[in-house]
């Protein structure tokens, strides 16, 4: 084993230890301690991840097997970690951003009682642990373990404030919707195991590349597997049709939202598909489906975000939309672009959420942007960082968002011009609603209550420092993937990921690239201007027509409720009220009742009269004799 | 005289007895009908015994007095019948003491 | 020898307790000690895995009929005996210091039931198997009817007569097989040697299947189960659903499938459909239940449906998963019942409507409940995951045209399980504390101990399931060789 | 042979004993001693030691089977006397005479089990029946008893008529009364033979209360004094079944194909009527009367199936069924009324009695680990050799029987006593009852104890 990889097992282990300490010792630990443990463990794994990242950058990478999780005849599933470019990159994202969020949380959650404070950090650590497991796993089963783990942690954290049944309801929704995806994912894993006899990435990919199209692994198999995996991904990464849990996941504390949206959870789907890129490259049909679904999600979410007033909801839908972009990239075969966007998005989305958290914190829990405005004066750092975040997500050069989004748009263009058009429009929408948010929150005049105004204050350092760091990253994060057209062989990320995801060498003239870039940048600038014109001063407007439709989120939740949830429970009631007692059980009891009844009736044969007895006997005898002598003869 | 005549006669007597049992309500008369059935059997047995004697004689089968056991049986039946009569009449009398009737239709405390 | 000990210890204990008249706590303590002893014996037998003569016992008995007292502990017997002894230990520890009416009789009946169930798990002679089958039933009937709830008498009588009806059909099947054997013996070896025509197999199959289907219970035959589980005292319910249900599965694995493989294949689709339909059906009903015990009862019907489906998947992976599931399901459902019992005793109600907010003041109980409930829905890194993983994997590999239907419909169970489990957790523990549970629920040491053992087993086998797999690998291989359809058809 | 003569002598002795001995317990002891001697003599004969050397001209044949059957009957009778001796005293003043009649009946039983000529069969049946008429009516002031006696008497002698006609036809066909296989083909098929066969079938069915000739059974069993019901329902019935089996397995084995379907039909009808009617009874005594019909249906399977299994099964059935029923009736004699409610909460007050009763009822219901189960097992096995559907009907009926047997168990164990008065049992009685129950269990676990006798 590579000497530098010997510590790999510590990366997930440290958060787990943190979880155990905080979880078991929650009644005894002081807030400082649990905060320290929570953040410290993550910091530890971040450092180790850095070492490993260095080693990987030096061209190393391998699969470290610890013990056999399942070993039986015809199937061996080791509990093993795979360390390569992709996983090491994600390790950095998860631990790095995770650490910042932990630090931020220490101050954000300070009002909680020490017990629930420790509980909170134990959950956070468990969350990070599961995500790390997911990323490190060298086969689909370990990946699935982490996959379910993040589902569980999201459930625990969304429902963190267990007093509020609305929140716990949202938590249940998140878990169950994830389970729907998980089922598809599981079926895909089973299919792979049955066909290839293994679940390890390397073996599966080798097998498929060897036998693709043959009876061993036909094209149908490939399509089925890839589709099932994708359905799994839609659950975790909040794509159509399983995205509705993510906006509701706002119920959790704001740092948790940051964690879910930026570092962990939602990126799992992207990771999984990127990890399986070898299979996907063989399934063009699936790829186009993915790209269309991603695009549709991006557009739908963007439109919804246009008319949301809850600051976190806007961000949530923007996440869904950005994830849509990533899937678009995956669908167009630009895996690197997708991962690139995951990276940059992690930076600025974490930034935005933590910023919004800072705002909410300052507003004393108020989340409705209609009651905000003009905060730029009081919350200077927050404003500055938030602005950077908006610029980044809008995709203005030279901020990180620009490069990743540009890569995606380019790939879409090459793959399917129509998609490019829609994607570009969606990008404008993004810029529009983000700056709407910015203006409504920080510009104009304050619209909250006086005491809120009195309460307004910049957040403490523990919260602002992470903001600043993230802001820096959001600015500079994109420079690791500068396309050739701007700067010759500066696409460091592409070269770094090429061994895993394959290099994307697309033949397109620099002129076109310049054209596309200028198109998007110009459009974004115009949109921002338009937004400034509209929302510089807030006017309460009754949304009408299509906008009302957007405000109500396309009525998707209501649709699901009517079409799926209600029928299921109605059917359940029918089964309980009717089928079970009146049909199945009635049949069973009916037998017993029949016996009773028969007994009651047959008794009367025993009339008590000698005459009737003799008569019956004689009749019986006569019948027997007649039958014997005249029929059976 | 062929055996069938005896056979039919005996069966007729027996059937009369059965019909009597079926139709009459007086315990004593029912009992008499049963006796009639028994006597029908006696008649039949005697007839058969004679028949077997003739067959044996015709076939010259060297058995000591063939067919004798049939007649022996008859005596046993008479003895047993006598015993039954004594017990049966005792029972009927006992019943008469209690309900002052020998009509079997009054006997329906035990039913269902 | 060891197997005989396993039967004798509880038997002697039962006889002793039946005659014993004395104070409560001695009885409970004695029962606990007995369970520990038999657990130790079980542990010892695990070390004898490579000395068969220690794990088998044969004595002449009913020789005129062609039966014999032959016990053997194979892989299936091992894992089920392990489950039985463990479950009894956990349960008796949990019951320590509980005041029960006529405790001596209570524990004596329980021990007698243990004898019967262990006998069923170890018997290698069909008549002996039937004897123990009924011997396990009678004590359960008496337990449920004497210590049960208000509707106990009709409900448990239905349970008794229903299962008895099933078993007599099985008896006919056994007698028929015995009459077909060369040496007129009930021994499983000589029964295996019979060459049955497909048509014979097919009606024998149903004679046996009905008995096992009622015991399990599989979907249309399940109506006795929720009532019985509800009306029985919860400790008895826990044994019923944690251990006794396994008798039916053992029947499938040791008798039905190996003896009638062709029929099992011919009727496989029918049974599978029933099983997966049962999963969905039971889940729907579980979602609707308000009574905690009924909810758990229906959830266990769903689990059993999955296990039954796995049995008829006729491939090694399914068997392997099923064998693991035998143990894990037992432990998890036992945990669920223990928790249900705690909640009912401490709050005085079982209705989800009147419970609520317990997490506010009793986090420990909450944590136990959440862990065990999540294990019950087979979350990864809990013990049930590996079992269900292999089960589903096997079901998807069923030798049938509808394999994917079975897998998908059965898979819906995964989702529904999450639905009703989370609903249950939410209703009991979240929200504001309700009137029924104003004060913190304190757990006695032995209660915590029992729960810790359960959780420990859940996590250990969740992270390192290999011991369970090794324990049963040989058996699943053997079973697969006996029921491998392709090779069977090649032969015939 | 030994037992037959000695029991007759003992009968006479006991009849006279009432003149000399006034103390009833002595008479009881004398009877028990007599039974013990009978049992000993029977065992001696089983080992080939004969008391008298009499040439019976081939009219009696005490083979091993008959002797084992006698042994079983004597053992049951012994327990019967032990358990219900004092209940017999309650019936009326003529204690010694009842015992004497019992011994005369014993003589009849031995004749029935050991007959080799239809003449002996007829005499045996009458020697059993006539004293039974008397015992049935022995509770003279009780109208039910009178009614039962008259019904039994009239119907019984009616069936005697059938029996005799059957024998007469038989004689006409064969020319003798010897109950051995007739090899003469002309005889085998003759319609005289056929008619005789069927009439004998009817008569025997009546005696062992097989439907549709069972009508006398419930009324007589219900009306007769409980002690004697117990005797009639168990030992007498068992002996007559032995005769039934022997008649059709030896004498008519060649007409097997003719009578087997009819017997099968009778089995089904009997099981149906017996079980179904028993379900809805209110009095335990009457329920037992019907259940005895149901049990007869099972025993009839021994007649239906001519093979070793069925004969062994009948022995086991005789033992377990007789002991269980005797035990239950013995407890019943202590009850003030025979309603099911009378048993409520018995388990709490009288655990031993309740446990024994539970075992008896479990055995009757055919639950494993009791003699009843193995007995039924043999019967079903025997039936299975010919007809699957018959076996299935039989087991389903066994399940139905659980309906009424378990009502008592439920009353004893699961219900609480509502009425204040509860029956009191002497200690010795309950111990004895428990021993009986243990024997029943032993029969279920080690049946070789009985069946071994056949083979050593």
A56-94: per-residue pLDDT in tens?
888 777 888 898 998 988 889 999 999 888 899 999 999
Question: pLDDT value at position A369?
Answer: 83
- Chain C residues in contact with D396 (beta carbon < 8 A): 165, 168
Count the domains in chain A: 2
CB burial class (10 A; 0-12, 13-18, 19+) of residue A573?
middle
Q: What's the mean pLDDT in C220-247? A: 93
What span, in angstroms and rounded, lies between the C-alpha atoms of C113 and C134? 10
Number of domains, chain D? 1
Mean pLDDT computed over C20-24: 77
How does residue D454 score in pLDDT terms, banded at 50, 70 and 90? low
Tokens of D230: 């117990």
Strand runs labelled E in A299-363: none
Domain range enclosing D224:
2-455
Beta bridge partners of A65: A80
Position A46 scores a pLDDT of: 94
Q: Give partners of A (≥3 CB pairs < 8 A).
A: B, C, D
Write the pLDDT tens digit of every residue in A549-581.
888 888 888 888 898 889 988 999 999 888 888
Does B108 sit within 8 Å of A607, measured CB to CB? yes
The mean pLDDT of D374-389, rounded to a whole number, is 91
| pLDDT of A134 over the 70 cut | yes
On the question of pLDDT at A504 being above 70, the answer is: no
Residue A82 forms beta bridges with which residues? A63
Of A128 and D57, the structure prediction assigns the larger pLDDT to A128
Q: Residue D455: what pLDDT? A: 63
Q: Are residues A537 and A583 in the same domain?
A: no
D366, with CB counted inside 10 A (0-12, 13-18, 19+), is: buried
Average pLDDT along chain A: 88
A392: Cβ contacts below 8 Å, ≥ 6 apart: A344, A347, A348, A351, A399, A400, A401, A402, A474, A475
pLDDT at A534 over 60: yes
Q: Is the dihedral of CA A262, A266, A267, A268 positive or negative?
A: positive
- pLDDT at C50 > cutoff 90: no
Q: Which chain C residues are within 8 Å of A164, Cβ to Cβ? A: 431
Please compute the mean of the pLDDT values over residues C258-266 and round it to a whole number: 92
Who has greater pLDDT, C458 or A506?
A: C458
> Do residues A311 and A393 both lie within one domain?
yes
Tens of pLDDT, residues A430-459? 999 999 988 888 888 888 888 888 888 888
Of A89-93, A343-347, A480-484, least confident by mean pLDDT is A480-484
A231 pLDDT above the threshold of 60: yes
Nearest Cα residue in chain D from A616: D212
Rounded to the nearest angstrom, the minimum Cα separation between B45 and chain D is 6
Residue numbers in D near A632 (CB within 8 A): 258
Pairwise CB contact (< 8 Å): D157 & B84: yes
d(CA D346, CA D409): 9
Strand partners, C57: C71
Question: Considering only CB atoms, which chain A residues are within 8 Å of D273?
Answer: 602, 605
Q: Which residues of B touch A (CB under 8 A)?
A: 18, 21-22, 25, 30, 104-105, 107-112
Lookup: tokens for D2: 């030994």
User: Which residues from D are below 8 Å from C135, CB to CB?
Assistant: 368-369
Q: Is the pLDDT of residue C185 over 60?
A: yes
How many helices (DSSP H) and strands (DSSP E) are in chain D?
20, 0
Percent of chain A with pLDDT over 90: 37
Contact criterion met (CB below 8 Å) for C104 and C22 = yes
- Verify that A346 and A313 share a domain, yes or no: yes
Structure tokens at D100: 């004497």
For residue A241, report the phi and psi dihedrals to the nearest 5 degrees: -95, 10
**A112 domain-assigned:** no
Quick check: do C and B touch, 3+ CB pairs under 8 A?
Answer: no
Determine the residue of chain D that is closest to C160 in CA distance. D402
Kindly state the average pLDDT of the residues D387-407: 93
Phi, psi of A217 (to 5 degrees): -150, 90
Contacts of D210 in chain A (CB under 8 A): none
Kindly report which listed range (C36-40, C277-281, D51-55, D276-280) carries the lowest average pLDDT score.
D51-55
What distance in Å separates residue A606's CA from the closest CA in chain D? 7
Three-class DSSP category at A316: helix
**Cβ of A614 under 8 Å from any chain B Cβ?**
yes
Q: Token pair 């009913």 is at which residue?
A: C62
Test A625 with D154 for CB contact under 8 angstroms. Answer: no
Predicted model pTM:
0.92
Residue D414 at interface with chain C, using a CB cutoff of 8 Å: yes
Q: Cα A358–A319–A503 angle (5° rounding)?
A: 125
D456 pLDDT more than 70: no
Q: Which of residues 105-124 of A touch C (CB under 8 A)?
A: 115
Q: pLDDT category, A415, cuts 50, 70, 90?
A: confident
Confidence of residue C80 (pLDDT cuts 50, 70, 90): very high
**What number is the average pLDDT over the span C227-232?**
94
**pLDDT of res. C161:** 92
Q: Which two tokens mark C145?
A: 């009817």
Please list every residue in chain C whose beta carbon sits closer than 8 Å to the beta carbon of residue D312: 64
- Asked whether A23 and A122 are in contact (CB, 8 A), the reply is yes
A618:B112 CB<8 A: no
pLDDT over 90 for what percent of chain D?
A: 66
For residue A70, the cross-strand partners are A77
CB pair distance less than 8 Å for D368 and C142: no
Lowest-confidence segment of A612-621, C300-309, D122-131, D341-350 by average pLDDT: D341-350
Strands C68-72, C56-60: pairing kind: antiparallel
Is A430 contained in some domain? yes
Q: Residue C234 pLDDT more than 90?
A: yes
Contact B112 A603 (CB under 8 A): yes
Q: What is the pLDDT of residue A13?
A: 93
Comparing CB atoms, the residue among D312, D399, D413 nearest residue C164 is: D399
Count how many pairs of residues, chain A against chain B, have C-beta atoms within 8 Å.
30
pLDDT at C424 over 70: yes
Alpha helices in A137-253 (DSSP H): 140-158, 165-196, 201-211, 219-236, 245-248
b/e map A465-481, b = 16+ CB within 10 Å? ebbebbbebbbebbebb
Does position D127 have pLDDT exceeding 90, yes or no? yes
pLDDT at A405 over 80: yes
CA-CA distance, B100 to B98, in Å (whole number)? Answer: 6
Mean pLDDT over the full length of chain D:
91
pLDDT of residue A252: 84
Q: What is the pLDDT of residue A471?
A: 92
Instruction: ipTM value, please give it.
Output: 0.91
pLDDT 10s digits, D203-248: 999 999 998 999 999 999 999 999 999 999 999 999 999 999 999 9
Subunits with 3+ C-beta pairs closer than 8 A to D: A, B, C
B3-106 topology per CATH = Helix Hairpins (1.10.287)
Question: For residues A32, A33, A36 and A41, what is the CA-based torsion angle, rounded to 10 degrees?
Answer: -160
> Quick check: D212 and A616 CB within 8 A?
yes
β-pairing verdict for A75-83 and C56-60: unpaired
More confident residue, C137 or A58: C137
Report pLDDT for B94.
Answer: 93
Calpha distance D334→C179 (Å, rounded): 45
Interior/surface letters D419-451, b for 16+ CB within 10 angstroms, e for the rest: eeebbebeeebbebbbebbebbbbbbbebbebb
State which residues form the domain around A572.
561-631
| CB count in 10 Å sphere of residue D289 | 29
Average pLDDT of B99-110? 87
């Amino acid at each position: 084993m590579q000497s530098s990889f010997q510590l790999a097992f510590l990366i997930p282990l440290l958060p787990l230890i943190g979880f155990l300490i905080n979880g078991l010792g929650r009644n005894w630990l002081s807030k400082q301690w649990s905060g320290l443990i929570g953040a410290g463990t993550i910091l530890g794994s971040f450092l180790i991840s850095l070492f490993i990242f260095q080693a990987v950058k030096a061209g190393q990478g391998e699969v470290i097997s610890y013990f056999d999780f399942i070993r039986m005849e015809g199937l061996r599933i080791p509990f093993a970690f795979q360390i390569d470019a992709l996983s090491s990159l994600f390790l950095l994202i998860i631990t790095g951003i995770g650490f910042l969020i932990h630090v931020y949380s220490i101050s954000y959650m300070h009002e909680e009682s020490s017990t629930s404070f420790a509980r909170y950090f134990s959950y956070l650590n468990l969350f990070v642990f599961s995500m790390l497991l997911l990323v490190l796993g060298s086969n689909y089963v370990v990946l699935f373990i982490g996959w379910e783990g993040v589902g569980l942690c999201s459930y625990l954290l969304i429902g963190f404030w267990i007093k509020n049944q609305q929140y716990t309801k949202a938590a249940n929704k998140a878990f169950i919707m994830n389970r729907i995806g998980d089922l598809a994912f599981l079926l895909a894993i089973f299919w792979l195991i049955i066909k290839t006899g293994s679940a390890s990435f390397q073996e599966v990919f080798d097998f498929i590349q060897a036998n693709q199209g043959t009876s061993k692994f036909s094209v149908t198999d490939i399509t089925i597997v890839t589709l099932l995996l994708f359905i799994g991904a839609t659950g975790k990464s909040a794509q159509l049709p399983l995205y509705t849990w993510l906006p509701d996941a706002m119920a959790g504390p704001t740092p948790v939202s940051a964690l879910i949206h930026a570092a962990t959870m939602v990126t799992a789907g992207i990771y999984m598909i990127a990890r399986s890129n070898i299979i996907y490259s063989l399934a063009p049909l699936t790829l186009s489906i993915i790209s269309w679904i991603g695009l549709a999600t991006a557009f739908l979410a963007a439109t919804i975000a246009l008319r949301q007033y809850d600051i976190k909801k806007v961000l949530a839908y923007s996440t869904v939309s950005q994830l849509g972009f990533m899937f678009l990239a995956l669908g167009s075969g630009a895996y690197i672009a997708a991962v690139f966007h995951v990276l940059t998005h992690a930076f600025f989305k974490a930034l935005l959420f933590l910023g919004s958290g800072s705002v909410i914190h300052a507003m004393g829990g108020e989340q409705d942007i209609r009651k905000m405005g003009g905060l730029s004066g009081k919350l200077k750092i927050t404003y500055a960082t938030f602005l950077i975040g908006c610029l980044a997500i809008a995709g203005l050069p030279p901020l990180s968002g620009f490069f990743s989004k540009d890569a995606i748009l380019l790939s879409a263009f090459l793959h399917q011009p129509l998609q490019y058009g829609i994607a570009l429009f969606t990008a404008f929408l993004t810029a529009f609603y983000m700056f709407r948010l910015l203006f409504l929150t920080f510009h104009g005049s304050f619209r909250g209550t006086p005491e809120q105004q009195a309460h307004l204050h910049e957040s403490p350092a523990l919260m602002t420092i992470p903001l600043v760091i993230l802001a820096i990253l959001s600015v500079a994060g994109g420079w690791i993937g500068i396309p050739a057209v701007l700067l010759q062989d500066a696409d460091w990320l592409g070269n770094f990921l090429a061994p895993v995801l394959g290099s994307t060498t697309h033949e397109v003239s620099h002129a076109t690239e310049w054209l596309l870039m200028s198109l998007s940048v110009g459009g974004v600038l115009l949109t921002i201007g338009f937004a400034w014109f509209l929302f510089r001063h807030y006017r309460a407007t009754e949304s009408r027509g299509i906008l009302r439709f957007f405000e109500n989120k396309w009525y998707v939740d209501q649709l699901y409720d009517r079409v799926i949830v209600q029928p299921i429970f109605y059917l359940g009631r029918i089964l309980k009220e009717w089928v079970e007692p009146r049909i199945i059980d009635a049949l069973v009891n009916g037998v017993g009742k029949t016996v009773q009844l028969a007994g009651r009736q047959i008794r009367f044969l025993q009339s008590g009269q000698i005459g009737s007895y003799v008569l019956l006997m004689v009749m019986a005898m006569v019948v027997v004799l007649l039958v014997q002598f005249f029929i059976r003869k | 005289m062929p055996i069938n005549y005896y056979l039919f006669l005996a069966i007729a007597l027996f059937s009369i007895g059965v019909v009597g049992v079926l139709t009459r309500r007086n315990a004593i008369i029912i009992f008499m009908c049963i006796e009639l059935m028994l006597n029908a059997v006696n008649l039949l047995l005697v007839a058969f015994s004679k028949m077997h004697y003739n067959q044996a004689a015709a076939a010259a089968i060297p058995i000591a007095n063939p067919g004798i056991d049939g007649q022996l049986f008859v005596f046993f039946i008479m003895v047993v019948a006598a015993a039954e009569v004594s017990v049966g009449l005792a029972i009927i009398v006992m019943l008469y003491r209690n309900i002052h009737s020998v009509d079997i239709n009054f006997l329906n405390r035990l039913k269902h | 020898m060891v197997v005989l000990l396993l039967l004798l210890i509880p038997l002697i204990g039962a006889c002793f307790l039946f005659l014993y008249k004395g104070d409560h706590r001695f009885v409970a303590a004695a029962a606990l000690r007995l369970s520990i002893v038999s657990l130790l014996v079980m542990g010892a037998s695990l070390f004898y895995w490579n000395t068969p003569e220690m794990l088998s016992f044969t004595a002449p008995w009913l020789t005129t009929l062609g039966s014999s007292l032959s016990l053997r502990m194979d892989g299936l017997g091992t894992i089920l005996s392990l489950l039985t002894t463990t479950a009894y230990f956990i349960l008796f520890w949990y019951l320590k210091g509980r005041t029960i009416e006529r405790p001596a009789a209570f524990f004596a009946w329980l021990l007698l039931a243990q004898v019967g169930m262990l006998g069923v798990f170890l018997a290698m002679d069909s008549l002996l198997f039937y004897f123990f089958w009924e011997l396990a039933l009678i004590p359960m009937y008496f337990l449920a009817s004497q210590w049960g709830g208000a509707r106990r008498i009709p409900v448990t009588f239905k349970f008794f007569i229903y299962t008895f009806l099933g078993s007599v059909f099985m008896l006919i099947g056994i007698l028929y097989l015995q009459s077909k054997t060369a040496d007129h013996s009930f021994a499983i070896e000589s029964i295996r040697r019979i060459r049955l025509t497909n048509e014979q197999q097919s009606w024998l199959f149903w004679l046996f299947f009905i008995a096992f289907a009622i015991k399990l219970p599989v979907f249309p035959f399940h109506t006795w189960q929720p009532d019985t589980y509800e009306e029985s005292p919860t400790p008895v319910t826990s044994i019923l659903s944690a251990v006794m249900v396994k008798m039916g599965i053992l029947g499938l694995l040791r008798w039905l499938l190996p003896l009638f493989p062709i029929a099992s294949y011919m009727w496989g689709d029918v049974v599978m459909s029933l099983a997966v339909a049962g999963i969905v059906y039971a889940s729907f009903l579980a979602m609707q239940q308000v009574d905690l015990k009924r909810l758990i009862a229906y959830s266990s019907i769903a689990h059993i449906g999955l296990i039954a489906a796995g049995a008829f998947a006729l491939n090694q992976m399914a068997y392997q998963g099923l064998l693991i599931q035998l143990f894990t399901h037992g432990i998890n459902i036992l945990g669920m019942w223990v928790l249900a019992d705690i909640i009912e005793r401490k709050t005085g109600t079982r209705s989800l409507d009147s419970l609520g907010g317990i997490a506010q003041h009793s986090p420990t109980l909450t944590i136990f409940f959440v862990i065990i409930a999540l294990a019950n829905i087979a979350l990864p890194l809990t013990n049930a995951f590996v079992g269900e993983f292999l089960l589903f994997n096997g079901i998807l590999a069923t030798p049938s045209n509808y394999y994917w239907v079975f897998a998908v419909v059965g898979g819906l169970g995964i989702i529904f399980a999450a639905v009703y489990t989370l609903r249950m957790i939410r209703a009991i523990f979240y929200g504001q504390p309700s009137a029924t549970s104003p004060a913190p629920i304190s757990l006695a040491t032995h209660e915590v101990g029992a729960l810790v053992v359960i959780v420990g087993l859940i996590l250990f086998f969740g992270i390192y399931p290999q011991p369970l797999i090794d324990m049963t690998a040989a058996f699943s291989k053997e079973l697969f060789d006996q029921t491998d359809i392709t090779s069977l058809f090649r032969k015939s | 042979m030994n037992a037959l003569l000695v029991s007759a002598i003992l009968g006479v002795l006991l009849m006279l004993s009432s003149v000399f001995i006034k103390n009833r317990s002595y008479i009881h002891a004398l009877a028990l001693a007599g039974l013990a001697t009978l049992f000993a003599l029977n065992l001696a004969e089983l080992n080939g030691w004969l008391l008298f050397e009499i040439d019976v001209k081939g009219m009696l044949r005490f083979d091993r089977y008959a002797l084992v059957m006698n042994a079983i009957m004597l053992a049951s009778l012994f327990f019967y006397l032990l358990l219900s001796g004092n209940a017999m005293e309650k019936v009326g003043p003529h204690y010694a005479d009842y015992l004497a009649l019992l011994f005369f009946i014993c003589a009849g039983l031995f004749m029935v089990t050991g007959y080799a000529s239809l003449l002996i069969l007829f005499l045996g049946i009458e020697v059993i029946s006539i004293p039974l008429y008397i015992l049935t009516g022995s509770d003279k002031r009780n109208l039910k008893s009178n009614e039962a006696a008259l019904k039994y008497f009239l119907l019984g002698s009616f069936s005697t008529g059938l029996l005799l006609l059957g024998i007469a036809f038989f004689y006409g066909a064969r020319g003798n009364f010897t109950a051995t296989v007739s090899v003469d083909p002309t005889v085998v098929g003759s319609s005289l033979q056929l008619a005789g066969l069927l009439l004998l079938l009817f008569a025997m069915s009546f005696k062992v209360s097989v439907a549709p000739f069972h009508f006398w059974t419930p009324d007589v069993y219900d009306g007769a004094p409980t002690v004697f019901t117990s005797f009639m329902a168990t030992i007498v019935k068992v002996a007559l079944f032995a005769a039934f089996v022997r008649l059709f397995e030896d004498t008519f084995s060649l007409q097997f194909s003719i009578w087997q379907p009819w017997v099968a039909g009778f089995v089904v009808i009997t099981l149906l009527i017996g079980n179904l009617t028993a379900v809805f009874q209110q009095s335990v005594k009457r329920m037992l009367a019907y259940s005895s019909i149901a049990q007869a249906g099972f025993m009839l399977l021994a007649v239906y199936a001519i093979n070793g299994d069925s004969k062994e099964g009948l022995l086991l059935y005789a033992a377990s069924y007789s002991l269980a029923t005797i035990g239950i009736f013995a407890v019943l004699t202590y009850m003030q009324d025979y309603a099911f409610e009378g048993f409520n909460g018995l388990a709490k007050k009288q655990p031993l009695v309740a446990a024994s009763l539970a075992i008896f009822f479990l055995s009757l219901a055919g639950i494993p680990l009791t003699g009843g189960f193995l007995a039924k097992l043999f019967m079903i096995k025997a039936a299975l050799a010919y007809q699957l559907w018959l076996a299935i009907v039989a087991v389903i009926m066994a399940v139905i029987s659980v309906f009424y047997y378990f009502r008592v168990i439920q009353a004893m164990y699961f219900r609480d006593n509502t009425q204040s008065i509860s029956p009191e049992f002497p200690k010795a009685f309950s111990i004895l009852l428990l021993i009986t129950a243990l024997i029943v269990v032993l029969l279920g676990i080690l049946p070789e104890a009985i069946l071994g006798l056949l083979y050593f």
